[in-house]
Amino acid sequence: MAQVSELPEDFCRNFLYRNDLKKTFESFQQEWFAQTALGSIKAVGQAETPEIYRINQELSDELTSLREEISKLRTTSAIAESNSEKCRRERDYHRLQHRRILHEKEELALDLKKVVARCKELEPHVAVLEGKYENMLRQNMLTSIDRDRAKFQLSTLQSPAALSSSLKSATSSSATAIKRPLMAPGKTAPLEREATMPIDHPPTAQATQPLPAYTPWTAARMLRLSPGLAIKAHSAAVSCVAAHPTRDQLASGSDDGTIRLWAGVTGDSEGVLEGHRGWIAACEFSSDGATLASASGDASVKLWDTTKQECLGTLSEHSHPVWSISYHHTSLFLASGSMDSTIKIWDIAVGRSKLTMRGHHDSVNSVQFQYLGNSLLSASADRTVQLWDARSGLMTKTLRGHGSAVNSAVYNRTGDYIASADADGLVLVWDTRQLHPLWSNHDYSSVAANRCAFDHGGAVLAIARDNGAVSMLNAITGDQLDELHGHNESVLGVAFAASGRYFACSGSDGTVRLWS
């Protein structure tokens, strides 16, 4: 393609424009067009600019562009060199640190080997000391039991009706103590004597008998069980259900923060107890039925008058949600287990804790007093079940056998057996005299057992399962008597009526079901 030479006037214009000579460019334009109009300048196209000027101009432009690029490259090179130097310094620093850490690691490995070797040397001595400690605790417990038994026998020799009168006085005193108002937090308690736990009464056959009109739960009766009422009790999951000890009445606690009272046979609503600021984890009637205690996710325990349906007081010394509660048989004391890994024994008369027991390493999921005794049972997420002397606050025994968090542990009415259930579905029944498992149930290895309960006769053990079923087991042999299906979601609470007329269970579907 032929190269067209540039005209002189265009060359001048381009030269002025490239060099940013705007005023000169405008003056040139004015004079050029003026002279052209006057005819002083020859017509365009008669002369041409020599080619060398155009080439020279192009080379000049290219040289200028190359110089600018060289300047940018020099700046970039200087920055890269600075970054490279910084990286070299950081590399040297981290290399030194790596060598130091390797040296410290070798020293720590040597120290760890020495510690492991020393621990192995001390293991036999620790085992001997643990054995001595457990023997001392056992001897102490047996001595206290023998002493209390001797005192009880002495009192019975002095008066044939000593046992019945002591039980009646304990019940009446408990009713009087409950009627006294609890002090609000921050106020000074009245100057009155704190209650003391009575001596352990031997669980005689007469004392542990259910109500006179009690209908026993037998294998033949289990086969005739039929679903009764299905009460739409709450708007959220019903986490617990409790049976009144002397009449056909139920209490249910829910994640909606309320406790509701129900007629045990008809399922009619008898009242609503409101006051907690969190979900309800557990509820239980006192042994005389005059009050109801409730534990909540708001880290408090409340006591309620079920007749007037009003709150008698609030116990709030736990720092985390309270999972479980249990009344002492005198109704003067209450035990609570919390997510803060502690167990508290509350003196209801003065409204504050009498003892705080620490022994579990994780959340305490369940607590229960032994009937007519001062032994306390606790179950924890640390996979252990522990026995406590509630008078001294000392742990007397730790039962191990569960592989996951223990959700529930209960005594039977005579105190001969303990049942415990964990999150893996394992159920263990322990002989309290030998303190070893009597039997175990692995039939639901993948279905969590949320709660367990003995019937008042001690023949049947009910297990609330996560699959919406309730397993009814023979408490002595572990054989399954029946399996109750009715809930659409997890079963969270189980309770046997004191009269033995029906069995109640509650679930995550918001219902309470009665079986008779």
Instruction: Determine contact, residues 382/342, Cβ cutoff 8 Å.
Output: no
- Of the candidates 495, 266, 282, the one whose C-alpha atom is nearest the C-alpha of residue 504 is 495
State CA 421 to chain mean position distance: 17
pLDDT band at 115 (very low <50, low <70, confident <90, very high): very high
Q: What is the DSSP code (8-state) at residue 299?
A: S
Interval 269-287 mean pLDDT: 93
Task: Give residue 43's pLDDT.
Answer: 52
CB atoms within 10 A of CB 162: 15
Which of 49-53, 213-217, 487-491 is the most confident on average? 487-491
What are the CA-CA distances from residue 8 to residues 1, 38, 54, 61, 200 (Å)?
22, 19, 10, 19, 126
Domain 175-183+234-267+277-515: give its CATH superfamily.
YVTN repeat-like/Quinoprotein amine dehydrogenase (2.130.10.10)
Mean pLDDT of 491-512: 91
Q: How far apart are CA 374 and CA 390, in angstroms?
A: 5
Quick one: pLDDT band at residue 167, thresholds 50, 70, 90?
very low
Residue 171 in this model has a pLDDT that exceeds 50: no
Mean model confidence pLDDT for the chain = 83
In whole angstroms, give the CA distance from residue 285 to residue 292.
4
443 to 190, 427, 448: CA distances (angstroms):
54, 9, 11
What span, in angstroms and rounded, lies between the C-alpha atoms of 416 and 430?
A: 8
Q: What is the mean pLDDT of residues 484-488?
A: 89
* Predicted pLDDT at 42: 62
E-only strand ranges, 316-426: 322-327, 333-338, 342-347, 352-358, 364-369, 375-380, 384-389, 394-400, 406-411, 417-422
For the stretch 388-427, pLDDT in tens is 999 989 999 999 999 999 999 999 998 889 999 999 999 9
- Please answer whether residues 414 and 458 qualify as being in contact, where contact means their C-beta atoms are separated by less than 8 angstroms: yes
In contact, 333 and 292? CB cutoff 8 Å: no
CA distance 313 to 302: 6
Q: Report the pLDDT value the prediction gives residue 216, as an integer from 0 to 100.
A: 74
Q: Which residue has the higher pLDDT, 419 or 132?
A: 419
pLDDT digits (tens, 9 = 90+) for 230-246: 888 899 999 999 999 98
Question: Residue 223 pLDDT > 90, yes or no?
Answer: no
Query: Of residues 228 and 158, which shows the higher confidence score?
Result: 228
Residue with tokens 């606050």: 393
Q: Where does residue 496 rank: exposed (0-12), middle (13-18), buried (19+ CB within 10 A)?
A: buried
User: What pLDDT shows up at residue 156?
Assistant: 66
Residue 339, SS3?
A: coil
pLDDT in tens, 286-316: 998 999 999 999 999 999 998 899 999 999 9
Per-residue pLDDT for 340 more than 60? Answer: yes
Q: Coil, strand, or helix at residue 318? A: coil
Report the distance separating Cα 366 and Cα 318, nearest Å: 15
Mean pLDDT across the stretch 123-152?
80
5-22: pLDDT as tens digits: 567 777 788 878 878 888
Rounded CA separation 193/65 (Å) = 101
